């Protein structure tokens, strides 16, 4: 958490649903005045929606029912929460079960989420013990549906099983998430950085990563951080 953030209690959203606060109030875009983006005075309350209760609506109940049946006694451990927000179904999945959940969602004829659009990462520094989140966006071409899976792990233990055995195209996306967020996908066939040099220190898309001030290779110069750059008035 940066010094310009402050914790704020959760408040209901416009539909009266109580959110689950994971992040504090964010003030400014770069942590102070002087940036050239125009967002120096930004004040934003960041909160995640609370788990939904049945009925979830639309086709959501059917997919969750099928998945719980296929998982059997492991269902309560595998699916940590069901979230419905902005017309999207999200399943929060325990990391030890992510491969099995993907397998069922891909192979069951009533689900048939045969296409993975990739894996992305999110860093929530104040979500203690669950700082790193991996998001999986699945699409059913057969049924014309989309679903989102999310796995949360601790910064101190950032390991998640690789899903490349189910969705081979996730190979590149898991490498990118590893490179930028530091999430380690166990069982990946070749987990290595995809954008940054192999010896790069740190993961550039984490919220605690410094903005600017990185030495420019071969030139011996530096890029000033956003709050130190020229101001336009």
Question: Is residue 214 assigned to a domain?
Answer: no
Q: What percent of the chain has pLDDT over 70?
A: 71
Interval 121-146 mean pLDDT: 94
Domain membership of residue 26 (yes or no) is: no
pLDDT band at 20 (very low <50, low <70, confident <90, very high): low
175 domain residue, yes or no = yes
Residue 161 counted as domain residue: yes
Q: Phi then psi for 214, rounded to 5 degrees?
A: -90, 130
CB 31 within 8 A of CB 2: yes
| CB environment 104-141: b (16+ within 10 A), e (fewer) | bbbeeeebbbeebebbbbbbbbebeeebbbbbbbbbbe
What phi and psi, each to the nearest 5 degrees, are found at residue 115? -120, 125
CA angle 29, 86, 138 (to 5 degrees): 95
Q: Is 230 among the domain residues?
A: no
Give mean pLDDT, residues 125-149: 95
Say if 150 falls within a structural domain: yes
Residue 185 located in a structural domain:
yes
Length of the chain: 233
pLDDT in tens, 155-176: 999 999 999 999 999 999 999 9
Query: pTM above the 0.85 mark?
Result: no
Which of 17-21, 25-29, 65-69, 127-131 is predicted with the least confidence, judged by mean pLDDT?
A: 17-21
Over the stretch 78-123, which tens digit does the pLDDT of each residue have? 999 999 988 899 999 999 999 999 999 999 999 999 999 999 999 9
Residues 150 and 138: beta-carbon distance below 8 Å: no
Q: Give the chain's domain count.
A: 1
| Within a domain: 98 | yes
Give Rg (Cα) of the chain: 20
CATH number of the domain at 108, please: 3.30.460.80
Q: Which domain holds residue 141?
A: 51-202
């Amino acid at each position: 958490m940066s010094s310009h953030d402050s914790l704020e209690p959760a408040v209901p959203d416009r539909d009266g649903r109580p959110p689950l606060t994971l992040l504090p109030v964010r003030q400014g875009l770069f942590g102070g005045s002087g940036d050239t983006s125009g967002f120096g005075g930004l004040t934003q309350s960041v909160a995640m929606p609370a788990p939904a209760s049945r009925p979830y609506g639309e086709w959501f109940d059917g997919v969750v029912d099928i998945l719980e049946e296929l998982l059997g006694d492991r269902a309560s451990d595998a699916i940590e929460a069901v979230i419905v927000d902005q017309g999207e179904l999200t399943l929060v999945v325990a990391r030890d079960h992510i491969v099995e959940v993907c397998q069922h969602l891909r192979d069951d004829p009533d689900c048939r989420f045969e296409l993975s659009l990739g894996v992305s990462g999110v860093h929530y520094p104040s979500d203690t013990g669950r700082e790193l989140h991996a998001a999986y966006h699945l699409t059913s071409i057969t049924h014309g549906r989309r679903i989102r899976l999310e796995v949360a792990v601790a910064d101190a233990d950032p390991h998640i099983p690789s899903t490349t055995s189910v969705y081979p195209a996730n190979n590149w996306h898991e490498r990118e998430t590893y490179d930028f967020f530091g999430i380690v996908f166990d069982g990946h066939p070749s987990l290595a950085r995809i954008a940054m040099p192999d010896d790069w220190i740190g993961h550039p898309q984490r919220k605690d990563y410094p903005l600017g001030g990185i030495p420019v290779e071969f030139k011996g110069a530096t890029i000033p951080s956003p709050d130190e750059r020229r101001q336009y008035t």
